[in-house]
Every structure is written in structure tokens, then in C-alpha cells.
Amino acid sequence: AVLSEMVNMITSDKDTAKSPYAYGLAYCFENLTMSEDDKKREKLREMEVSQEQWEQFEKLTKSGQGRKGKPDPPENVETRIKAFVQADGAAALRALVLEGGSSRVLESVARTYCNMAGVQEVRAQMFAQGAARALIHLATKGASANSLEDDSSKSRRDKEQQHKVDEKTKRFASHALGKMFITTDPRVIGHNQIMDSIAPMVRQVRHSTEDLVIFECCMALTNLATLNHETKRKIITCQGVTAFEYASYSDETLVRRAAVEAMCNLVPEPEMVEWFKAKQHMRVWLLYAGAYEDDVQTSSAATGALAGVCHDPEVAQCLKDQEEGTGIPTLVVLLMSGISPIIHRVAVCLMGLLEGFGENGKDVLLSNGIRKGIDAVLNSNSPIDPPAKQAVEALNNQLK
């Protein structure tokens, strides 16, 4: 009842967003939607201190003795978030954003939305209550979105502080959009909301220092890229290819995989085909494809992208011109991997190379040991999915 009353204070009076107590309401919502551990982790992140460093500090100063808080397990937080959304909480936050909430209010709202989006079951309701529009506003303009103050009157220190708050607000809002779009069918979301959400998420993929933000924004953009040609074009014009390439160099397997999958979903757009014509790009991509023993999913995505571009003569030549033992020989090894999805994609890729090389295609493939790979599949005693085997048989027939 109390929660409903707090929400009603905002939704029933649009002037609440500009009132002195608006921040108090936003701060309450923010704290309701996160655990004590989450608050501690966020505080340490702001201080640029790791959990291990903080524990060592507490041990040395004995400052943490006897101060264990009341347990607040994730299921309790989830229950509170569901109750908040059920009470039209996402709509109340939207009102705080769009009716002129202050910088402090908007920063708190962005964080609250990000907390809420962590619960998959409420994401559809968040969309229904207009969260996307508010988040796009925050992710694009930051916490100073509603500010009427002239920046020229601010000191340098105040400007720097406001910039930090703006960037933090954009990060939380973009991350919330990423979480929401990971599991939401884009076909049921409005066209403008999808298109306006892309640029903020691409920006986080390129500039965020947090692996989770990069990973979830990559996953969301991968989902949106499946919708239609227009979303692919939007991602590309927002410098998505460069952002995904940068993320693919991550040491974190999940981040690297998500970036490779995102790039795969942009094939066969002209910019992606051009990207594969660069020798250094092809070299790195073959490393992703060839690492099937360590990461099957990344290898499968990488070979899938190759299957979509190798019909291009310049891409085919770039693959052929790789250092000795790589390039086409890497595809032969992948053909012998015993992993059906990879075998299928490699077979399609090799048939694309036949087209790309033209009349010399058969000689190029045979001189690189392709027969060994084909025989390994066709004579294998291990179970291979019918589509994969049929693709290899089709390749074999084209080489006769």
C-alpha cells in the first residue's frame, strides 16, 4: 500500500517531478530495487576499489568487525522489483524523467531502471509502461537532460562533476536498454524505440570499461540485428562494426563471443564484406574460428560469418593470401573437427570460395588439402548431423 501511494504521488501529479521531494522518492525506489551487497559493490566501483582491496583495508583497520548487515538475498530483491512494477513503478519513473526531474533525480531513475531490468519477468511490463522512451532520453542526454542552467556560468570543477554524472546516467540507462532487449522479441516493440536505442548501446560497447555492460549490449544488438535490414544498417551507421571489433579483443570469453556473434549477424552488409578484405582482420577472424577446442560457440559464429562472405572474390583472395598453414588450411582443420554446426558452416564457406575463385577454385582448394577434410567427414564413424553431412557431400560433388 505504501509503495502504491508513493507511485501515485508521481503519476497523479506531473508537478511532482520538479518538487523538492522528487529525489527522496527516486532514492527510495533505487534502494528498494537493489540489495545491500549491490549497494556496496557500486560504492566500491565509484571509489575505484576492488572487493579484495576493501576487505584487506577492513582487516588492517578492523573497521568491519561486528557490522554485518541484515541478509538481503536476491530473491527478496526480485520480489520487491516485481511488486514495484506491478504498482506501475516503471511508469512513475518515466514521469520523473519526462516531466522535468532534476539531475540527481534522473541519475537515480537510470540506476533504478537498470536494477529492474535485471529481472527478466518484468521486462515486458517495463516496455508496456513506457520505460524505453524514458531510457532513450536518459541514455542520449544524461542526467542534465532537463537542465535549463547555462553551462557557461559553471566552474570547471562543476562541469567535470556534471560530466561524470551524465556519463554514469547514460551508462545505467543504456545498460538497462541492453538488458531489456536481450530477451525481448523486437517484432513486438515499436520501430522508433528500437532505432533510437541502438546508438546508446553501441556507444557503451565501444567505450564502457565494464565487461557486463559490453556483453549485454552486444547481446541486445545481436538480437536487434536479426529483425531486418534497417536495424543492421542503423547499427553499422552508428559505428557498430568498429565497436564490436574492439570488444572482440577482450580477454573475457563471453564478451569476445558476444562481439563475434554480433558481427556475424551483420553479414552480408557491404561494410562487413569490406571488413573481411583486410588481411589483418581475416587473420584475427581465423584465430576465432580455429579455436573450436576452447570455445565452440565463438568458432561456430566466426565460421558462420565466413560462410556469408567467402563468395566475394576479394575476400576469397584475402583468405588464400594468409600466412602458410593458415587461411584455407585452417578451414580444412575445422572440417575435421567432428562438430556438426562448424562442419556445416565450413562446407558452405568452401563452396563460397569455389564461387569466389572462379575457374581456379577447384585447384586452389585441392592444393590446400581439402580432400583430406572431406574424406574425414564422409568416412567418419562419429555421428554427424544430416545437414552437415549433406553440405560436405555437395562440396565433394562440386570438386569432382
pTM of the model: 0.90
CA distance 204 to 106: 19
CA distance 126 to 18: 23
> Over its length of 400 residues, how does the chain's per-residue pLDDT go in tens digits?
789 999 999 999 989 999 999 999 999 999 999 988 777 777 766 666 666 665 665 666 665 555 556 778 889 999 999 999 999 999 999 999 999 899 999 999 999 999 999 999 999 999 999 999 999 999 999 888 777 666 666 788 878 888 888 999 999 999 999 999 999 999 999 999 999 999 999 999 999 999 999 999 999 999 999 999 999 999 999 999 999 999 999 999 999 999 999 999 999 999 999 999 999 999 999 999 999 999 999 999 999 999 999 999 999 999 999 998 889 999 999 999 999 999 999 999 999 999 999 999 999 999 999 999 999 999 988 899 999 999 999 999 999 8
Residue partners of 151: CB distance under 8 A and separation at least 6: 159
CA distance 349 to 346: 5
Closest CA relative to residue 145, chosen from 189, 99, 179:
99
Strand (E) or helix (H) holding 190? none
Cell numbers that stand for 14 in this block: 506531473
Contact present, 246 and 212 (Cβ < 8 Å): no
Cell numbers that stand for 149 in this block: 542552467
Q: State the number of CA atoms in the 13 A half-sphere of 126 facing the CB.
A: 29
